[in-house]
Chains A and B, each alone.
Chain A
């Protein structure tokens, strides 16, 4: 059964990753090109030409999709019995929303995606470690929040009180954590419109990816469930 869920996760992730890669190709690449044009004065290691890098973008998002799809499938398999949602379709969508928030969107609030030409290459190792710590803490916080909410529900706490409490707790914990972490790179002097458009396309890419994983995975589960009961 674990293998079945893993397979569904990889399939859903690959499919959603391809869709998100195509989205990024059309809606993200133009802003990468604008950023690179601004940067043209810098000596930049060009061993791969631009058309190949654009193809590499679609391949990168598809492979990333397949990888997080595998993580999605294994997480779904181990949490399924404990999720309150009434069917696999709803469970799948809720898990994909939780992973979108924990693995991407909450870290993005502190360390947003940056276009080429804004980061300092000399401290990329440090910034990478800081980013990974942030992803781990945000994903962990979402998981703990879900567990606390489950405990409160089983203890009989009403829905409004439970959701307000867990929501406020999550905000307070993450606010303190973000405050304690080093500041994000300042894209000093970088044009604000290019930065905004680039970041919106980055959020859009991840939204397409995670919505796609949730929908395809949920549909695959429901299809098998229907066959089982027919």
Chain B
């Protein structure tokens, strides 16, 4: 798959990384992604967790 049609699909790895990052942001992040921006406050405010909160519960990932 990585070399489908004989030439390497150079965009495949970055694309997969982006997909994983998106899944992490929506379902699992608890402040780590915003820490570079917000510093200490990222863990306390936990914006992504709070914004995606209902989705995390309804999509079935473990929560509080």
Contact = CB atoms under 8 A, between A and B. Distances in A.
B53 A63 contact: no
A21 to B, nearest CB: 8
A57 B55 contact: yes
Nearest to B18: A70
Nearest to B20: A67
Interface string A115-158: 11101110010011011000000000000000000000000000
Interface residues of B, number: 34
Contacts of A19: none
B16 to A, nearest CB: 8
Nearest to A128: B62
B23 A64 contact: yes
Contacts of B4: 1-2, 77
A113 B60 contact: yes
A32 B58 contact: yes
Contacts, number: 130
A89 to B, nearest CB: 22
A92 interface: no
A186 to B, nearest CB: 14
B12 A205 contact: no
A11 to B, nearest CB: 14
A48 B5 CA distance: 48
Contacts of A1: 4-5
Contacts of A45: 44, 46, 50
A202 B63 contact: no
Nearest to B56: A60
A70 B4 CA distance: 17
B60 A128 contact: no
Given A53-B53, A56-B52, A56-B55, A131 B9 contact: no
Nearest to A124: B62
B61 interface: yes
A24 B19 contact: no
Nearest to B54: A57
A205 B58 contact: yes
A117 B64 contact: yes
A114 interface: yes
The 5 closest A-B pairs by CB, nearest first: A60-B55, A113-B60, A127-B62, A48-B50, A57-B54
